[in-house]
């Protein structure tokens, strides 16, 4: 085996690798020569077992990939806007004012139904008592009214009967009107009774305390003595 030669001009790592390769090659050559010689091969095999060692290649440090350059930012396309000519200045046109139609007012809520109580019965005031009307008086003694005279011809003719006169007595107590209501059947007797009553005095009728005119019936009888 030959000693290793050190070459200071080579790097340490590279020299170490070359030395290992040369040593391996020399060992292989020696072994091959010995094995080619039959007696020696047998003696070696009998004396020393064959040892094979694997020579691992030197570890190479991993090479990092070069950094990728940054992606270029997209360039925004410049859009050229068409040149619009300035608008012509014109007088402003007034737009018509919008016609506002007022919305109809909401319908009024229905008035609540109020049930009024039934009206109280109207009690009519009792009528005032009517004033009492008294009839005219013609037969009072203090009036001194004379009885009608019996006609002489009626006596001779035997005429007799009963006459009813209807007399209107004034508020002053005199006979304003005398009518024959019921005849005696003889005109001379009826006329004699009417002439007598026309001269009588009466107590007038009264409504309360007030004298009023009123009608009164006066019967007069003509009888002959037997």
Mean pLDDT of all residues in 7-34: 62
Confidence bin at 52 (pLDDT 50/70/90): very low
Mean pLDDT of all residues in 122-147: 83
Q: How far apart are CA 58 and CA 17, in angstroms?
A: 8
Confidence bin at 188 (pLDDT 50/70/90): very high
- Looking at per-residue confidence, does 109 or 77 come out higher? 109
Q: Which of 47-56, 121-130, 139-148 has the highest mean pLDDT?
A: 139-148
Residue 191 sits in a domain whose CATH number is 3.30.2420.10
Using a pLDDT cut of 90, give the percent of the chain over it: 36
Over residues 139-168, the pLDDT tens digits come to 888 889 999 999 999 999 999 999 999 999
Q: Residue 3: is it exposed, middle or buried by C-beta count within 10 angstroms (0-12/13-18/19+)?
A: exposed
Secondary structure string (H, E, C) spanning the chain: CCCCCCCCCCCHHHHHHHHHHHHHHHHHHHHHHHHHCHHHHHHHHHHCCCCCCCCCCCCCCCCCCCCCCCCCCCCCCCCCCCCCCCCCCCCCCCCCCCCCCCCCCCCCCCCCCCCCCCCCCCCCCCCCCCCCEECCECCCHHHCCCCCCCCHHHHHCCCCEEEEEEEEECCCCEEEEEEEEECCCCHHHHHHHHHHHCCCECECEEECCEEECEEEEEEEEECCCC
Question: Does pLDDT of 89 surpass 70?
Answer: no
- Any domain includes 128: no
- Any domain includes 22: yes
Residue 8: per-residue pLDDT: 47
Residue-number span of the structural domain to which 181 is assigned = 133-222
Mean pLDDT of all residues in 8-19: 57
- Any domain includes 38: yes
- Any domain includes 108: no
Q: Which two tokens stand for residue 11?
A: 């790097």
Report how many domains make up the chain.
2
Confidence bin at 176 (pLDDT 50/70/90): very high
């Amino acid at each position: 085996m030959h000693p290793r030669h050190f070459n200071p001009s080579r790097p340490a790592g590279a020299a170490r690798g070359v030395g290992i390769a040369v040593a391996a090659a020399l060992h292989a050559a020696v072994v091959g020569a010995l094995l080619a010689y039959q007696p020696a091969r047998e003696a070696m095999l009998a004396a020393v077992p064959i040892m094979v060692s694997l020579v691992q290649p030197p570890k190479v440090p991993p090479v990092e990939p070069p950094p990728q350059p940054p992606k270029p930012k997209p360039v925004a396309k410049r859009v050229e806007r068409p040149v619009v000519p300035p608008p012509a200045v014109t007088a402003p046109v007034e737009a018509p004012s919008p016609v506002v139609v007022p919305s109809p007012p909401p319908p009024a809520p229905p008035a609540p139904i109020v049930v009024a109580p039934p009206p109280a019965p109207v009690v009519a005031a009792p009528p005032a008592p009517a004033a009492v009307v008294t009839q005219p008086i013609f037969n009072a003694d203090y009036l001194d009214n004379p009885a009608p005279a019996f006609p002489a011809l009626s006596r001779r003719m035997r005429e007799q009967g009963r006459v009813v006169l209807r007399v209107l007595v004034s508020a002053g107590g005199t006979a304003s009107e005398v009518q024959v209501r019921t005849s005696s059947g003889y005109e001379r007797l009826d006329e004699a009774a009417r002439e007598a009553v026309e001269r009588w005095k009466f107590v007038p009728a009264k409504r309360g305390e007030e004298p009023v005119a009123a009608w009164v019936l006066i019967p007069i009888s003509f009888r002959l003595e037997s």
